[in-house]
Chains A and B, each alone.
Chain A
Amino acid sequence: MTNERLLFNKNILVAVDESESGRRAVSYVGQILGGMTGFKIIILNVIHEPDEDYFQESLEKEAWLAQHKLKADAMLNDHRQLLIKEGFEPNNIVVRSIILDCPSIADCILTELEKMGCSTIVVGRKGVSRKEEFLFGSVSNKIIHHAHDCTVWVVE
């Protein structure tokens, strides 16, 4: 057995989408850590770029992406305000919205987590049924099973 002390930083990645569970995750972090010093919160939203097959024309795709980026920016701003209200310094909150064409949203989030070097990731659980998880998978479950070198908080 090793006595080496593991080092954890205070950077926390909160992965959100447009669902209520994402807002719950942000709210949880705000309530638990608001007012404490040293924490940096990164709120990440991955916009899942649809298959090129989904659009008949490239203009249609551009319009789709622009619309979703706008919506994501408004949502992230709302989350940021929520954290400020809970006592976080504005300069300790980073919001990021990225458009990615990825086979798995969970894999994309975990790649971003690694790049940002956060010790903790927070996700909200949507409560998808077993049937739905079987048919399409679950982002939070995949993060729980595949995340390594970090701690996962799952907010119910």
Chain B
Amino acid sequence: MTALLSQKDIRQMTSRWLPASQHNRHFRIHSDTTDFFRIDYGDVVTLGENSYLIRHNAKEGRFGLDDEIKFWVKRAIDLQTGNLKIIKLVFHEKFTSHIGNIEFQCFRSPKKEARILDLVADHDNFMHGYSIEDESGNIVRVIDFIYGKSLHAYIGNLQIDHQTYFYDLFPEILENFMECVEAVGFLHAHGEKHGDIRRDHIYLDRDNQKYRWIDFDFNYWQKENIYSYDLFGLGNILIFLVGMGDVLIQNLKKKNPHALNALSEEDLNIVFNNRVANLKKIYPYLPESLNRILMHFSKGAKWYYENTIQLLNDLGEVKNM
């Protein structure tokens, strides 16, 4: 049931967050979020007993591309608690995605994300929040804002050489990453997949230092192994972490032609053929046991991980060295 709030109530509740010049303005109040383009800065969304002051639309950058505005995702203030929230409105989207020449059907599913939010409510390695139906039955997700950087930004901003990184920082990063792998295993054990595993979908929570997965609304038309696409994502992140960034063929041409000459086709990432998977050929001090794991995501792999337990077992051996 949606709370009926008067303009006076709203003015009182929002006064803390708005400049004095706006205290007496008229607020647009939305209890039906179907047309998310109409919900704008300074509007109020009411969901059940709670009201949220919309601050702005979220943006999503994708590895060097300009930020894309996501009109269905709003930053908002919970007017009861003052906490910052991310409000994800319903946007049904079906599209064909491509990885190289492979096509697959993808779609956004608010139902899936709502289900997973319930499932991971007590799990430290996921974003938290709740879902609620608005007046028109749209499944809206209200997410607690995570203060911190994405793993992508954290690694990308490091200003140290690889060897120092590998010996000083990587052991702790690996430990945290393994928690993330376990967390994905937790989803799989409950018949769910994350669906969009990327390094900018892990946030480093400033408050408790935990690595936390975000964004579970992405889904795809599963084929034989419903978990292999998640494992592919984990492999890409691991290669990125071990290499302190992606080691790209085009960069090696300029910076390390000697290493480039030593590479063969089989040393490259099985899917992204411009990325090196066999990082021991670039950084010879990497332990063989770690490099062997990376090679399971290479073109030369004879065998692929089928589940997170296999990957965790191998990572555990590296950690205990």
Chain A hits for B102, CB < 8 A: 129, 131-132, 135
Our pick among B100, B104, B112, B226 for the contact of A103 (Cβ within 8 Å) is B226
**Cα–Cα distance between A56 and B108 once the two chains are bound (Å):** 10
Are B304 and A104 in contact, with the CB atoms below 8 A?
Answer: no
> Which among A52, A129, A136 is the interface contact of B222 at CB below 8 angstroms?
A136
A140 (CB) vs chain B CBs: closest residue: B224
Chain B residues with CB below 8 A from A106, complex form: 224
The answer to whether A135 touches B226 (Cβ under 8 A) is no
Please state if A135 and B271 are interface contacts (CB–CB under 8 Å): yes
Q: Which of B215-245 contact A (CB under 8 A)?
A: 219, 221-226, 228-229, 232
Are B225 and A104 in touch, CB under 8 angstroms? yes
List, in ascending order, chain B residues with CB within 8 A of A54's CB: 107, 109, 219, 221
Task: Tell me if B62 counts as interface (CB < 8 A to partner A).
Answer: no
Contact partner of B100 among A51, A131, A139, A142, CB < 8 A? A131
Identify A134's interface contact among B191, B219, B228, CB under 8 A: B228
Interface string of A5-17 (1 = CB under 8 A from B): 0000000000000
- Is B112 in contact with A135, judged by CB distance below 8 angstroms? no
Contact of B191 among A103, A135, A139 (CB under 8 A): A103
Minimum Cβ distance to chain B for residue A107 (Å) = 9
Q: CB distance B99 to A50 under 8 Å?
A: no
A-chain residues with CB within 8 Å of residue B232 when the two chains form the complex: 134-135
Instruction: Mark B92-113 against chain A: 1 for CB-CB distance below 8 A, else 0.
Output: 1000000110101001010110
Residues of chain B lying within 8 A (CB to CB) of residue A56: 92
User: How far is B225's CA from A139's CA once the two chains are assembled, in angstroms?
Assistant: 9
**Chain A: interface residue count, which band?**
20 to 34
Does B53 interact with chain A (Cβ within 8 Å)?
no
Mask of B264-307 contacts with A, CB within 8 angstroms, 1/0: 00000011000000000000000000000000000101001000
Q: Check B301–A135 contact: CB distance below 8 A.
A: no
In the complex, per-residue mask of A43-58: 1 if CB is within 8 Å of any chain B CB, else 0? 0000010111110100
A137 touches B224 (CB 8 A): yes
A137 to B228, alpha carbons, bound, how many Å? 7
Chain B residue numbers with a CB within 8 Å of A137 are 223-225, 228
CB within 8 Å of A: which B52-108 residues: 92, 99-100, 102, 104, 107
Residues of A within 8 A of B221 (CB): 50, 54
A53 in contact with B224 given A131-B271, A132-B102, A135-B229 (CB within 8 Å): no
A136 near B219 with CB under 8 A, answer no
With a cutoff of 8 Å between Cβ atoms, the chain B residues found around residue A129 in the complex are 102
Question: Is B222 a contact partner of A51 (Cβ separation < 8 A)?
Answer: yes
- Which chain B residue has the least Cβ–Cβ distance from A104? B224
Interface assignment of A130: CB less than 8 Å from any CB of chain B:
yes
Chain A 5-52 interface residues, beta-carbon cutoff 8 Å to B:
48, 50-52
Task: Give complex CA distance A17, B307 in Å.
Answer: 26
B271 touches A134 (CB 8 A): yes
Chain B 7-30 near chain A by CB (<8 Å), digits 1 or 0: 000000000000000000000000
Q: CA–CA, A132 to B226, complex, Å?
A: 13
Taking CB atoms, residues of chain B closer than 8 Å to A103 are: 191, 222, 226
Q: B270 touching A138 by the CB < 8 A rule?
A: no
Chain A residues numbered 102-116 whose CB sits less than 8 Å from any CB in chain B? 103-106
* A-B contact sample (12 more), CB < 8 A, given A51-B222, A131-B99, A135-B102: A51-B112, A51-B219, A52-B111, A53-B219, A104-B225, A131-B270, A131-B271, A134-B271, A135-B229, A136-B104, A137-B224, A138-B224
User: Would you mind naming 9 contact pairs between A and B with Cβ atoms under 8 Å apart?
Assistant: A54-B221, A130-B270, A131-B99, A131-B100, A134-B228, A134-B232, A136-B104, A136-B222, A138-B224
For the complex of A and B, 6 pairs with smallest distance between CB atoms: A137-B224, A137-B225, A136-B223, A53-B109, A53-B112, A139-B224
